[in-house]
Structure formats: structure tokens, C-alpha cells
Structure 1
Amino acid sequence: MRPILWALALAPFTLAVKHEDFKTCAQSSFCRRLKGIAKRQAESTSTFTSPYSVSPPTISDDEGRYTFPITSSLYPEIRFELRVDVLAEGNGIVRLRMDEVASSTGLRRYNETARWALVEAEPMLAGAGDSSVRTEKGKTVIRYGPKEAKLELEIQHSPFKITQSREGRAQVVINEKSLFHMEHFRKKKEKVEAVVGEAEQMVLGGDGVDRAWFEEEDDEAFEERFRQWTDSKPKGPEALSVDITFPGVEHIYGLPEHASPLSLPDTVGPHAHYSDPYRLYNVDIFEYLADSPMALYGAIPLLHAHSASHSVGILNLVGSDTFVDVEHTHTGVHTHWMSESGILDLLLLPGPRPSELFKQNAILTGTTALPPQWSTAYHQCRWNYVDETDVMDVQRRFDEVDIPLDVTWLDIEHAEEHRYFDWDAKHFPDPVRMQEAVAAKGRKMVAIIDPHIKKVDSFRIYSDAKDLDILVKKADGSNFEGWCWTGSSVWVDFFNPNSWDWWTRMFSFATWKDSTPSLFIWNDMNEPSVFDGPEISVPRDTIHHGGWENRDVHNINGMLFHNQTTQALIQRESPAQRPFVLSRSFFAGSQRFSAIWTGDNMGTWDHFAGETAMLLSNNIAGMSFSGADIGGFFGNPSPELLVRWYQAGAFMPFMRAHAHLDTKRREPYLYPEPTRGLIRDAVRTRYALLGVWYNAFHDASTQGWPIMRPQYVVFPEDKDGFAVDDQYYVGGEGLLVKPVTREGATTTEVYIADDQPYYDYFTHSLHPAQATPHNLTLSTPLSAYPVLIQGGSILPIRQRIRRSSPLMWQDPYTLIIALSKSGEAEGQLYSDDGTGYGYEGGEYVWRRFSLSLSAKGKGKKGGKGRMLRSERHPDSMEKEKERNGWAEKVGHVGVEQVVVLGLEEEPRDVKGARGERVEWKWEAGAAAGASGKGEEERASRLVLKKPGVGIVGDWQIEIS
């Protein structure tokens, strides 16, 4: 069995991506039909208007919901309905839904995407008086949202068009190009009759509209072939097309996951960068291209449109195969969405700035779950660590070379015949002993649990799932079977609620006796991947719970798998502990349940260079806990590339090294100096900054902010930064990072947008503020890479690096204070137990640090003194009057030193929290307010030694 499996499975690894395995738009009948509308429109010499028209609302209630009948002159007998919801939260979010009504076929379009993607499938509507409607002169205008925003939704009745505007300025236009089309249900025998005109053959609708514009004859409307597979289509054609235009913008972002620039380039028009649309269809794609619109493992149908004056966003709740064309023009950016099935369920996010867009998306789809603290540290993985001895050898050798490590991973070979949950007893004779030995070092383990289940009656997972009748079905109602790592396999249908409790029991310690509390889960292959299926996945006509076809829910499928795994880990312990699940497939809302990574990348410079843009795209769409395999999954990176990848990986939210089984072993300890030392330095830098990372994760979990923030997000009015996607800021912590992605680079340019000084994190050299945006050319030999502290920031770091992060919880902090141009700074520290849910009840510590000018204690040269304060963060809800167990536990954790960069002169005196004199060390250097014309030089450094303060309680230190 295994040799056959390996031969089948490894074949795709030997070459670059096999394009022939995956459909293009031209090979997808629905996309071919819908894109044909746009093509004919572009080639037409006359203006074509949409056949769809809207009647005035039949329902206009006082609770933010308006319902409009819609008809199409192509098929006057078919009824559609548009529903407009004004939501209570989000300062003006509007939801547009359109569906066919009362089809004579009795068929339904899939309308449950919101159930899985949104926190609430039916978000609360705005209250009475929060919106108003008027209908006149062929249009209906709805006013809504904050009064000062002056938001309006204008619905033009005929031809159908919707315009969202702010303060009278159009920001989103739907159906401006008349490409909206919803294919109605019909019987297979229905044929469109031809009417011969004087000049040409036309197919006419009810009022003489040319049907051929929208519905060319398509022999594949009810059955479609792709290579050796046939896709039956029992519901016939049900595709959906909608064009969405963003006037007055030059950049749009989003549509993860693609290996493309952050600012999405054109797919049509004179400046097309790609020849095919961006595709959203979760697939297992081997050795994907470094620059391509091809589908990858995840899909989030979200776009941000941005200009110096405003930002808007749209979230299109569609779970089926979707292609999106993009074209930039002098008036704005046009997009054309083409989906195989589903209703129109579109949410308009009004912004008006990126910060509001993140909050609005978080209101709808949720925030990144606050992960266990250890999961933000370094992970070591390989396909595969071969046995228990190998696993323990990894622990020993990391310790010998003084490289910290938190998590060791096991790939598919840990399971007997890839029967997940069943350990290979020959190589892992005592899994509990192994897990406990790893845990004794303060570390965790992750084991893979893939969705394919080996089809043998002796395997309890299969027999249980078969008996419960919770497996995905073929079109004929029998259980679907396919080929994956296990050989002949079946798949659980996680849309079926009967699977949920059962899956939870599979992870209980009573059932899975070879697991312990230190074991966590990796859900791979959950697109799902089927080696002998069309596009390496399940056929589209397979059936899920409720009778829905996979074509309706394909992109949502993987999210349900990792969601239920997450719920199972939460429920396996009492009190519950935070889970860690890594998923490859994802959809809008996945951030509530798991981390993700960018899949099977290659160990090449071009793949490495493209990772930052991919991760930024994931971050702005909510998937903040994301990373890329360090070193690349495929191939054998050179020592230089591996070092550069570790340096970049130390500043990814998810930091994991991983490699294919055919690659050479590349654990850091295997390399000679100086390579090993440079990797060690990068990993230890990650550990020193874990407090900063945890701050950023906390902000993501409470506010929806991305952890990796692109330039346009931090500086939304700086046009020169809108397309920058090779550098980013870590949360709101004031760290600017730019990976070095050119082979042999000894210098690297970093773009600076603001009039603030920047400090090198490693050397504390100062780059003076300049009034205009500019590039810094930094020296970057292999031992150096750009990590800059923005002036005005305070970083809480730990300088005592231990073998794993949980062992550092009692270690003191150092505050790095990088003064702004005006001589001030602020920062934060969020801390909790890192594993449980006590923080939800206020058991945490959240401090705001600030260094501000003081009128007291003028310096010898007329400079003002400063006051360094630690205060309860103004947004904190931590327990104060009742017992705060975490605050009590870390009450002894101190601040061992304070480093102030950029002071203009040595202080005359420093007084601690109780008025005592604090010892300090002064190193003269450049001041924060130095002239922008000056060259880089070392900043002045004031080091306060043992200031006698901690991370709990208010205090202040006076620097005079």
C-alpha cells in the first residue's frame, strides 16, 4: 500500500506547479459565461445597460431593513429580491442581500455563508430613527450612520445601480458597468429560442433585450468535464456576477490568499499584470508560483480600497469558486466578481480610514483569538522527526547550542499508516512519556491531524464516522471515497452538527489516551486535498449536510474542520486552557479559531521575497496569526538564504521552521559558525521581544488591528507608501521591520514616511527626523538587518533568554525608550498567565508607560526635565478591588533597567518611585531632536540601573 501511495503523492513534488491540474477562468464554464458579459461589453460600440431594475421598497420599517423587488427584462417571469440592512454597530455598515424568490423548480441558492463567517449570522439592525428612506425620481435614497458622516445609499431603479457615498462623494458603486447577473434556476430541457433579425441573430427577452449578452449557449451548464472528471450539475447554472467600482482610489488590497503584491495589480485592461483573474478556491497546490493570481489554500473575499482622503471595504460572503478581475483607470478601480453559486451577500464597510475598517471587519467576523503565549515563540518542524529518540535529540541539541525552542512538531509519519490518533508504536512506543519529557523542559508538542480518514473497519475513527453517518456523500448519496496520505480515505462532514460532539470526544484524554495537556494540533490538507480528485480536491457535486453541494461551500469547508478541532481542545480540560491549532485552509472568520501559514513554499529567494506581501494581505483581512515556513518547505536553501529567512521569521507573527522530507536536515544546530550563531541571534531576538509581540496579539484580539501593519495603514495619507509591501510595523509598538530578501545584499533601503527620528534596535544608532518622506540606506551585511524603533516608542523587552518562553515568566523587564522629536515617548505592557482564560474575568496586568516633559528640574543647558510613569492602561478592565490572581503572582517581577535613547544631555538627578536616588550610566551621543540633515550616529544613552519599580502598580521616575 505505502509504495503506491508514495508514488502517487510524491509525483507532484518533483516539478514546479502543474498548471494543468487547476482550472483557469476559461476552463470554468461559469467564469467563461460571466466574463463573456464583460468582454462583449468592452467590445460593444453601443452602450449596454443592465436588464435588472428595482421597484420602490415594499417594506420600509423603522429598524434598518428595506426590501426591494427586482426583475430582469431578460426573464420577466423570474422574481428576485434585494434586502438592505443597516447594522447597529460599525458606524454605518450596510448589508446587501439578493436572491431568487419562489423558483418554480423548488431549488435554493446557498445562503448560509454568514452562519460560519460572521460572529452573528444576523447582526443587530440599527434602531428606530438611525436611518431614513425616501423614494423619488426613479431612485431610493437611504441615509444612515453617524450624522457627521452623511452616509447615503442611493439605489437607482432602472437600470439597477447602487452607490454608497460619504458627504456627497461616491465611494462604492455596484453595477456601474452593468455586469450584475444572477443566473436563475431552470430545467435542463429549457432552450433559448432564436429570433432572426434583419442584421443578425438575436435572442430576445421580454422587452426585446438581447439575451445573448448575458447567456450564450453553454453545453456545460448542466454537466462539465475537466480532464478525466465529470461534474454533474443537478441544479444547473446558478452563477453570480457583480461589478464593484471604487471611485477616486488608486489602490485596492485584500483577496487573500495569493502570491501577489499587496496592492493588487490589474488582471484586465492595457496594464494587466496577470492574464487570469484572482481566484478564490481553496486547493492543495504544490510549489506554487512566487507571483501569480492562482488559487492557494485559503480564501477571504474581502477588499480594502484606499486613497489619501478615504478608505472603504467590502466583504463578499460567498463560499463557492470565485474569480475576481481588477482594472485600474483614471477614475478609480473596477472589480468584477464571478462566483459559481450562492446568493449575493455583500457587506459595505464605510471606513473612513484603515483603522475603522479593521474594527468593522472585527465586528462582523471576529478578532484574532488571544493565543497561548508560548505559541508566539519559536516552533521547530520537519516532515518528519522519525522517532522518539529523534524528538529528544532535537531538545538536547537546541539546549547545547543555547537556542531557545518552545514547540516541536510531528508530521504525518508519527501515525501508524497515517491513521491519525494512532501513534506508530514501532517508532513512538510511549508517546505520553515523550510528551512529558518535552514538557519537563517547558516546551510543547504539536501533532498533525489531517481530515482524510483511512477507510478500514479496524480504525475506530472510520468505523465511528461510518456508524454515525457523518461522512461526506457522493452525488448518489453513498459515502465519498478518495485517495490521500492514508490510501483509500473518507472525509467527515463537519457541516453536520452530529459530528461536533463526536469530534470533541476524540480529543478527550479519556479517548485519546496517548495525548497529554502539552500536545496541540496541526490541521493540514483541509481544503480538502484529495490526490485523485479534480483539482486535487473533492468533486463539486459531493453532498454536505442540508443537501448542499461542495460547490456551494468549498471555501468554507476547511474552516469548519479547524473550528471543531479548536473547540475540542478547549473542552478537553477543566478549567479550559487556550488551544493552539494551525490550519492550512481558511476563510473569513478563521481568525477566531486558529493560526495559518502560507503553505508549501519553496526555499528560493523569489519565494522568500514574496512572503511579506502575502502575510500583510492575510493580516489586513483578519488572519494576523500567520507565518511562512522558514527556509521554505521545498528545496535546500543556502546558508545565506536560511539566515536571512530566520531574521525575517523572527518578525512574523507565527515563527516556524519546516521542511519537506526530501530536503537535507537543517535544524540550526547542524550548521557551523558563523551561520549557527546568526540563526541563534535571530531566534533570541524573538524571545527578547516576546512582550512586544504579546502586546500586539492583545491589540489584535481586542481591537481587530493587524499584527503586521503595512505602510498605508500606519500612514494613510502618504501616497508614496501605498504600494510599499516589503516592510511593515509590528502592531502599534513602534517597530519597523524590513527583511533583507536580495542575495548578497550589503545595503538595504528602508522607506520612512514620518518626521520622527528612528533608532536601530540592535546598535541604538539614530537616524534623525526629516520633514519629508525619504529612504534610509542601511548597511546590512549578513549579520545585520533593518529593525528600527520609531521615535516616541517604549518597548518592554526581556534580556534573559531561557530555553523556552514559559521559563521566563518571572524574569525582569528592560524598558527601551526611544524619544520622539519632541522628547517624549509612550508604550504598553500587557501580561496574563499566557495559557488560561482568567484574563476574561480581569486577571491580567495592562500598563501604560509614558515619558513626558516636566516643568520641574530644568537641565544645565535650559532643557526640561522628564517624568517616566507607569499607569493602569486607560482601556484596562483588570480586577482592582477584588483579587487579581495574576497581578499577585507577578507582583515581584521588576524592571531591572530603563534605557532612554536620544536625551539632549546627561541628567542632573534621577529620583525613583519613593524619592530615592537612582543610579545611572550616561553615554553621550545624538539627541532625538537632532537636525534632519545629520548623518546616522549613535544616539545618547541613559541607562537607569535597578530603578526599584515593577510591572504591577503605579509609579513614576523623575529625570531632571
Structure 2
Amino acid sequence: MKVLGTSALTSTLVLLSILPQTLAVKAGDFRTCSQSGFCRRGRALASRAKEGIASWRSPYSVDPSTLSLSPEQSSFAAAVTSSLYPDVKFSLEVRLHEDGVARVRMDEVDGLKKRYDEAARWALVAEPQVSQDIKWTIGKTDARVAYGKGFELLVEFAPLRVVLRKGGKEQVVVNGRGLLHMEHFRQKAEEPAPVEPSEEGSDEQTVLKVENVRAWFEGESEDAYWEESFSGWTDSKPKGPESLSLDIDFPNHAHVYGIPQHATSLSLPTTTGEDPFFNDPYRLYNADVFEYVASATTSLYGSIPLMHAHSADSTVGVFHVVGSETWIDVAHSSAKSTETQWISESGILDLFILPGPTPADVFAQYARLTGTAPLPAHWALGYHQCRWNYVSTDDVRGVQKRFDEEDMPVDVFWLDIEYSEGHKYFMWDKKSFPDPVDMMNDVAAVGRKMVVIVDPHIKRSDDYPVYKLAQELDVLVKQKGGETDYDGWCWPGSSVWVDFFNPKSWAFWSSLFNPKQGSQWSWTDSTEDVYIWNDMNEPSVFNGPEITMPKDNVHYGGWEHRDIHNINGMILPNVTARGLVERGEIAKRPFVLTRSFFAGSQRYGAMWTGDNLGTWEHMAVGLKMTLANSIAGMPFTGSDVGGFFGNPEPEMLVRWYHVGAFAPFFRAHAHLDTKRREPYLLDEPYKGIVRDILRLRYSMLPIWYTAFRETSVTGLPIIRPHYVVFPNDPNGFALDDQYFIGSSGLLVKPVTRPDVTEETVYLPENQVYYDYFTNQAYRGAAKGKNIVVPAALHQIPLLIRGGSILPTRERPRRASSLMKNDPFTLRVALDNKSRARGELYLDDGVTFSHKDGQIVWREFVAEKEKKGKTVRLSSRDLAGANTATAVESVALATYDPQNSFARSIGGVRVEKIVVVGLISKPSSVSVEGGSQLQWEYVAGVAAGEKKEGVASVLTIKDPRVDVASDWAIVIKA
């Protein structure tokens, strides 16, 4: 095997020796709340409110005399005043959307400066439609509206308080503890005027005990108002203090989830207690965190300010659209309630309250706001092989050859930064990659693709066309003051960054991927079989504060980097994906992997959990992180198999392949200092086990692709924690080491500990579950039940929920594109009442023709006769019955069951049907209205029995039915 080329290795090691801080996280690399002025101020306000004055009331009140209703009376606007700063004006707008989502917006009016108010522009897929069916009732002390099934939204005036109720129970309370504080703009020399004490009321007399209420509220001294320093960096703050504190409480919900990205459990632990790893708020501040701790509130690469709150009675959500650094404290104040405080450095209050009341409702409500993940290319669901770095065209060819020699399937080979000449992306190092197009074509010749990294930092070099074009267009981020291009240090050395907030940058960047356009320089050494990896887009700046860009840098529109930092990473994959779509004569679905993300990033591609370590702890927490990302709208997610750093022993690597094979995004990756660990290098029996895992993933691609279709329409995650599938079962609310795959009925619990031979799996219901591999029947219970299943190294706990039908393709292939005409196997797992259901979705997997109805979408149903034991298994067209929701919410008004794609796979057959859990041996099996079929029956436990054991199995050989046709098979008792 080849090793890293001398020139590439030398340049990389020189850079790493210059920048040792990038090699591992140090205690001082990233701030804590106590080291961040605005977080200190927000947390201090919470402490004072809790301990200082028992009768504390928020100073913010709605002025009822200014309230104005919209013409349809479904929204209102009003002025808000602060009793502490009566001359400062604020505006409040409350809207109720058609789906019951409430939007609360508050901004400073006529201030000395303007607060950043464009975060929703990037996050939302469209401006939500306001309801036309509700009307506010305006009283003297509040405004309220009742809607839906038992919902009521209440806005109290003095003090300002917003409450969502359902059935009279409080679901969400905003500013209930009086922690709302929108720091207004002020002159630097401003001296706070004394507050005149009121003489009315006992509560006011209590407040009088504080010498200066204003000083009490904001603190007795200016704390990092105009500048602050950290780790040798000074952040100037020309606009002064502008942070936003907000308390959002869930009085009847003990579990909260979301706000990724953090390496922690799915159900978020308290951050205000004594736990040393959880005594800081959860931080949302996209950062390049090498070797992150496997259990902490530390910010990582992406930020989605979305939180779910859940109880057995309901699920609600809050989505606070803010793009600046945000800290979130979580306190489980009792066995049934949760308090949170959100502290953001800048921006307006733009809060969406998602009423649920079910998890599915919350997913749909959020998806209508920010969009769903589009249906990816089918090949993107296969196995991806990556390393920093495959060092030459010969290296790539050699890796591909070894995969084929070892009969291991793989769909994608990846190239990291060393492919490029001096880290000038789009330009090949011709010493190591003399024939890149030929290499790409060699990979494509056997049905595979390549992914090449393109990072956002641009080498500052006059011989680099990308730099010169960006400079000429004046689309580069500016340093403090807004006049000079910002210069920072990254892999190429001295670098600049394209300001993707500038609209002029979009066409420029997208056109770089199109070798056929003639207006400017573009990437001619490429093909349409190459896709893109956008890394380092937090942005990562090696010599910047917290390894990122200074907050006082200036972007398009004059906004400071502090205002948009968390949004920054989402625009690059957007314009990259656009370039990939536009480069061909026939538009093909793009694939872009991003490390940094924000709400709405799901619209542009996949993400992964960053630079993890090859440890058991990181394997386990990576699973939890993929679940957290999934429920926050980023379903195409996964963690690097094997860990980016380190050299996992064979047992760990095998277990990690199981974890990866049951994640939506399945990629192995490794640091340049690690030993080569492609799966074919393993000794037996490990190599054979991994081969089987890869083949298992490929056999189940129809299940994964069908799950992606559902996600693209509904917003439901692809991998689903227990609270999503069983929202009324408290035993499963904190479960995050086992999960369901789509609506398939597959329950998986990857093993993430060493030396395991058996594993405990929780079954949440009185239903039969079958072992996927052995057909062993396990029985749940009405109140839940733990079972013990085999989990030796070659095994993964994988159960099929009774009542499921799974379509698979069992013929081993070396790439998914070679499976398109393969026959299907249907596995019918009968439930306690001998019923089952499943779906299969197919299209060409490459183009956008599915949006025009070029699809096959089937429903399979097994039903037992009301009297007797005969079971009828049937297939019917689903797309014709659901034209409004077939794919990506595109209405298929002209859908034709005999569309050209359906005709193209007209000969694709079902080669085998396996029915598990039949009551008894059949007397006959036949196609309805047709001939008798060949079958075998092995007696065993029936689905409806109470005992456990190996289930009965009926195998129907060559049932003579096509997968895209209507048919029925009758299994007579």
C-alpha cells in the first residue's frame, strides 16, 4: 500500500507544526459562559431573579392603547415598553399560522442602531401563511385566541407573558420568570438614570428594598459592553451590548430534546446542578472542535435552535430563529416540568411555538417552516470510503481494486485536501493526480462515484483563479471596519473567505463546478460523477479566536460576523448543490456533505458529526448525536465509522461498522496519522463479519430509500427514538441507544461496549417482535418489557416489529447502481392478529423525474380472514391514491401508474416471500385468480401465541408477481 506522498506530507506537517492548537482541544480553546460577557450577564439576571427579589416582575409590558389587529384579525401588533427604560421603544407582533404554530416577534424600534433581523430569511423555506379562521379576543389585561382541538394562546400585557395552553394545561410559557431582556442600543458614555420608586402596592414596596432596580436588572457595572478579551484576542463591540435573554418553560414536560449539536444524551440533562460536565449552558456556536469530549455541553460544528418538550400527554416545540452565539440553560425543576433560559449575543426575538400535540405534528410544523430534506441520490445511501488522504490516482484505483477482490460493496470513494495543488481547491496536484478525469471515469465505469473536498477558505495567491475572481467581484469577508478583505490562516496558509451573504457570490461559486460555462474560469478537470464535501465552514480559522473568524468582521449589508456566525455554514452547501445541479444538460440530484449547519440546512444535503475519536465512548455518543440531529430536522446524518482519530482494535471497528450500517449516512473516515484501516485489511474473522455488514446494508437499501421518501414529505426523521414512535410510554422517553428505522418496523440496538455477547432490548408494547436473522419470537408487555438477545461480535440486535413487511434485495453487488433490476424479497412479519403492512418506493435514483410522477410506490398488506386462518397478501399502487404527498409535497395531478419509469422496471419481480408467524401450515398457496405456487413451511411459534421461541416460517419461492404490479396471494389454512 502507498503512503502519503512526500510533498503533500511535508506541506501538511509544516502547517501542523505552525498551528499546534488545531491538533486537540485545550481547556482554553473555547469559552465557557463565565468567559462570555453576554452569557454572564444573562445568567446573572436569572440568579438575581431567583434569589434576590421574591416578587420580581418583568419590566416589559404591552401598551394596550397601541394594539392593532390585522384585517383578518388573526395577528396583532403592539408597542412594548420597559418600566426601567421608558424612553426605549420595542415592537411586538404575534401571528397564528394556518397549522396552529404561533410566531412571536419583538424588536427595538427607532434605536440608535438596527438589530439583525434576517435569520428567518435563511432558515425559513417560505413566509408562513397566517390563519384565516381564528380571531383574537382583546381584553384589558390580555389578548387570547382559542383554536384547534383545545388550544389557547394567551398574551398577557403587564408584564408581557405568552402562554400556550391545551385543555387548560400550560404547555409553553414565555417570560413566565421575567428573564426577558432585550439589551437596547445606547451611547457608550450613557449613565443610567436613577429609577424613581413607586409608592403603590405591597409588591412595589418589596421592590423598593433594592437600591436601584435598573442596576439590579442589568448588573451594577458594565460587563463587557464595548469590548472583551479571550485567549489573547480582543473583540471590539462598536454597537455595544445587544444581547437577548428569554426564559421558555414547559410546566408539564419533564423531557426536552434537540438544540444540536452537542455530544450528550438525547434527553438533555440539567445544566444548573452540580454535575461538573453539565454546569455550563448548552452552547450554540459553530466551532472546529478537534477531539471533542464525549459528554459535555460544549458547542460543536452546527447549531439548530430547536427544542422539543415531551410528556405522555403531549409534545411541543420552540424554534428561536437567531443566528448569533446562543447559550441555553436547562433545569428540570420537578419530576414533570422543565425550565430553560436562552441567551443570545444579538438579534431579535423571533420565536415559533410549535403546538404539536404529537411528535409527528411537531415534525410537520417544523418542516413547513424550514423545509424537508430532499430525496437524495440512491447511491448516496450506500457505503462511503474516505481517508485523509488517498494520495494519488493509483492509490484510488488500488483501493477500488481491493474492494472488488474481496467482494465488498462500496459506492463512493472520497478525496481529502491533499488532492489539491497547495490546497487550492478545484486545482489538482498533478504530481500525485496526473490523470484525475481518467481516475474518475475508472471509478464510474463500475457504477461508483467520487466525492472531493472543497473548503471555503481561499488561498490568497495571485496565481489562483478562484481568489482573483472573488477579489474582482468584491465578494470577500471584510475585517473590522468593513474596508479591507479579512486575512486568516487555514490549510493553504494565508487565506480569504467568500462572503456567501453577498448575492453576487452565489452565481460565481455555483459556476465554478460547471466546466461547460464560458464566462469565467471553472473546474474543467472534473466530471458529473464527482460530488462535493464542504468542510471547515463554521468557518474554521486556525489563527482566529476560538479557531474561527473574529466577531467584529463585516459581511454584506454591514452586519458583523457575530450576528450571522451560526448561519454562515449553511449557505456554502446551498450554492455548491446549486452548482452541481446546473452543471449537466440533465439535472441530477446533488450530493453535498457539510460539517457546519443551521436550521434549514437539511434542504441542501447530508452532515456528519465531525472529528470524533476512535473510542467506545465516541461510538456510543455518536449514535445519540445522530438521533438528536435527526429530530432537529437533519435526517441525513451519521458519524465517522472507526473514529477520525486513533487506531481502533478490530472488535471496536466491527462494532462501529454495525453502528454505521444503521445510520442514514454511512461513511468510514480516518486521520492521516492513523493506520490504514480499509475493511479488506482486517484479518479473519473480522473481515468476513464486516463484509456481511456491508452486504446487509445493501440488501436493506430499499428500506432506507423508502424511509427517505417519507422524510422528504413529512419531515419525520429516518431514525426515530422511542418517544417518537411510542409517545405515551414514559419508559422510553430517555432511551437513546436503540431506535426504529422509518416506518419499517425495524428496531435496532447497536452494541457500543466491548466484550459483549448479549444485549438488553426494551420492547414498549404487547406485541410480538422477531429476530431479523433467526426469526426468534419475543413478546413485549402492555407496560413495556426488557428482553435479552444474542449479541456476539458477528451479531447486531435487530428486531422486526410484528405487523411489518420489509422489501429487500438479497443479491450481492459491488455497487448499488448495479442493483436497479435485481428482484425483491418480501419479509412478512405477522402481528398478534396475523396482520402486516409495508411500503416500497422506487424511482430512477438519479434525476428529478420523480417530481413529475416517474415513480413506483407500492403498499403491501397481509390480512387474515375474519373467520378462519386464511391470510391474503396483496400489493397495490400508493401513488395514485396519494398524489398530493407522493414525493416532496409535489402534487402529481397527472400521475400515471404506467409511467415510463414503472414500465422500465416492469420485469423486476418478487423472487421470494417469507411469512413469519403463521398460525398453522397452509393447505395451499396461490396467486389470486392464478396458479398454485411452490412453498416450504417450517413449524414454529405463531404470531398470536403468548409463548416465545423460533417462529413458524413460510417461504414462497418465485411467486410469479412483479414488484410494480397489483396482485394478491392467498395462503389458505
- Does 1:227 pair with 2:231? yes
TM-superposed deviation, 1:746 = 1.1
1:54 corresponding residue in structure 2 = 62
The match for 1:803 among 814, 819, 832 is 814
Matched, 1:321 2:328: no
Q: CA deviation at 1:135?
A: 2.6
**Match of residue 571, structure 1, among 582, 589, 594:** 582
**Contact 1:204 1:211 survives alignment (8 Å):** no
1:483 corresponds in structure 2 to: 489
Is the 1:203–1:212 Cα contact (8 Å) retained in structure 2?
Answer: no
Give deviations 1:469-511, integer Å, cap 9, x for gaps.
Answer: 0000011220000000010000000000000111111000232
Partner of 1:114: 120
Q: Does residue 512 of structure 1 match 2:518?
A: no
> 1:516-555 counterparts in 2 under 5 A?
516-555=527-566
Residue aligned with 1:512, SS: coil
Change in 2 beyond 3 A, CA 1:444/1:9: farther
Matched, 1:903 2:918: yes
Instruction: Determine whether 1:853 maps to 2:861.
Output: no
Q: 1:631 to 1:901 in 2, by over 3 A?
A: same
- Which residue is 1:7 aligned to? 16
- In structure 2, what is the Cα distance between the partners aligned to 1:4 and 1:779? 46
Structure 1 segment 185-264 matched on structure 2, within 5 A: 185-192=185-192, 209-264=213-268
Deviation at 1:140, TM superposition (A): 1.7
Q: Deviations over 1:496-554 (max 9, x none)?
A: 00001111110002321111010000000000000000000000010111111110000
> Which one of 641, 644, 650 corresponds to residue 639 of structure 1?
650
In the alignment, the residues of structure 2 paired with residue 435 and residue 527 of structure 1 have an alpha-carbon distance, to the nearest angstrom, of 29
Shift of 1:566: 0.8
8 A contact 2:915–2:955 mirrored in 1: yes
2:618 aligned with 1:615, yes or no? Answer: no
SS of 1:408 mapped into structure 2: strand
1:500 equivalent to 2:506? Answer yes
Whole-Å separation in 1 of the counterparts to 2:766 and 2:589: 41
Contact 1:74–1:206 (Cα < 8 Å) also in 2: no
The structural deviation recorded for 1:949 is 0.5
> How far apart in 1 are the matches of 2:95 and 2:895?
41
Amino acid in the other structure paired with 1:191: E
Aligned identity (percent) is 50
CA distance in 2, matches of 1:909, 1:195: 90
Q: Separation in 2 of the partners of 1:653 and 1:443?
A: 19
Match for 1:771 among 771, 777, 782? Answer: 782
Corresponding residue to 1:372 among 370, 373, 377: 377
Mapping of 1:530-929 within 5 angstroms?
A: 530-854=541-865, 858=868, 863-873=869-879, 874-876=881-883, 880-881=895-896, 884-929=899-944
SS at match of 2:38: helix
Give the conservation status (yes or no) of the 8 Å contact 1:193–1:203: no
Task: Go from structure 1 to structure 2 and tell me whether the alpha carbon gap of 1:577 and 1:913 turns closer, same or farther (over 3 Å shift).
Answer: farther
In the TM superposition, residue 220 of structure 1 has moved relative to its aligned partner by: 1.9
Shift of 1:137: 4.2
SS of the residue corresponding to residue 75 of structure 1 reads coil
CA shift, 1:636, in A, is 0.4
Q: How many residue pairs were aligned?
A: 937
Structure 1, residues 888-914: CA drift from partner, whole Å, max 9, x if none?
A: 111110000100000011111111144
- Partner amino acid for 1:938? V
Give me the whole-angstrom Cα distance separating, in 2, the residues matched to 1:629 and 1:491: 27
* CA distance in 2: counterparts of 1:523 and 1:696, whole angstroms: 25
**1: CA distance, partners of 2:911 / 2:321:** 50
Q: Match of 1:101? A: 109
Instruction: Give secondary structure in 2 for the equivalent of 1:170.
Output: strand
Distance in 2 between residues matched to 1:865 and 1:405, nearest whole Å: 39
Matched, 1:80 2:90: yes
Residue 882 of structure 1 and its aligned partner are, at CA, apart by 8.0
Pick aligned residue for 2:77 from 67, 74, 85:
67
Cα deviation for residue 884 of structure 1 reads: 1.2
Residue type of the partner of 1:367? Answer: T
Cα RMSD (Å) of the superposition? 1.9
Distance 2:834 2:42 in 1: 59
1:136 aligned to which of 126, 134, 139: 139
Whether the 8 Å CA contact 2:489–2:542 is kept in 1: the answer is: yes
Matches of 1:465 and 1:564, distance apart in 2: 15
CA distance in 2, matches of 1:471, 1:540: 15
Structure-2 change in CA distance of 1:207 and 1:142 (3 Å): farther
- Cα offset for 1:157? 1.1
Task: Please tell me whether the aligned partners of residues 437 and 525 of structure 2 are also in contact (alpha carbons under 8 angstroms).
Answer: yes
Gaps of 5+ in 2: 1-9, 198-205, 517-521, 887-891
**Greater shift in the superposed pair: 131-140 or 239-248:** 131-140
Match 2:131 to one of 126, 137, 140:
126
Aligned to 1:291: 295
Are the equivalent residues in 2 in contact too, given 1:454–1:462 (CA < 8 A)?
yes
Tell whether the 8 Å contact from 2:764 to 2:781 is kept in structure 1 after alignment.
no
Kept in 2: contact 1:55–1:157 (CA 8 A)? yes
- Alignment deviations for residues 558-583 of structure 1 (CA, whole Å, 9 cap, x no partner): 00111110111111112210000000
How far residue 779 of structure 1 moved from its aligned partner, in angstroms, is 1.6
Q: Structure 1 residues 922, 19: CA separation in 2 closer, same or farther (over 3 Å shift)?
A: same
Residues 769-802 of structure 1: per-residue CA shift (max 9 Å, x gap)? 4333101111211111101100000000001020
Q: Which residue of the partner structure matches residue 38 of structure 1?
A: 46
User: How far is the alpha carbon of 1:346 from its aligned partner?
Assistant: 0.3
Gaps of 5+ in 1: none
**Secondary structure at the counterpart of residue 582 of structure 1:** strand
Deviation at 1:273, TM superposition (A): 6.1
| Structure 1 residues 59 and 205, CA gap change in structure 2 (3 angstroms) | farther
CA distance in 1 between counterparts of 2:211 and 2:96 reads 34
d(CA) in 1 for partners of 2:677 and 2:570?
A: 31
Task: Find 1:406's aligned residue among 400, 403, 411.
Answer: 411
- Tell me the residue number matched to 2:519: none
User: 8 Å contact 2:386–2:669 — kept in the other structure?
Assistant: yes
Q: What's the CA shift for 1:808?
A: 0.3
Q: Do 1:97 and 1:346's aligned partners in 2 also have CA atoms closer than 8 Å?
A: yes
- Answer yes or no: is the 8 Å Cα contact 1:849–1:871 preserved in 2: no
Structure 1 equivalent of residue 962 of structure 2: 950
Whether the 8 Å CA contact 2:273–2:279 is kept in 1: the answer is no
> 2: CA distance between counterparts of 1:250 and 1:396?
53
Q: Whole-Å Cα distance in 1 between the matches of residues 874 and 512 of structure 2?
A: 52
- Determine if the alignment matches structure 1 residue 26 to structure 2 residue 34: yes
In structure 2, the residue matched to 1:303 is 307
Alpha-carbon separation, structure 1, partners of 2:631 and 2:642: 24
Alpha carbons 2:69, 2:77 under 8 Å: kept: yes
Q: Is the 8 A contact 1:382 1:409 kept in 2?
A: yes
1:896–1:946: 8 Å Cα contact kept in structure 2?
yes
The answer to which of 486-495 and 950-959 deviates more is 950-959
SS of residue paired to 2:122: helix
- Cα-to-partner distance string for 1:378-433 (whole Å, 9 max, x where unaligned): 00000000100100011110011111000000000000101000011001101110
Q: TM-score, normalised by structure 2?
A: 0.94
For 2:190 and 2:88, the matched residues in 1 are separated by 14
**Which of residues 417, 423, 427 is equivalent to 1:418?**
423
Deviation, structure 1 residue 84: 0.5
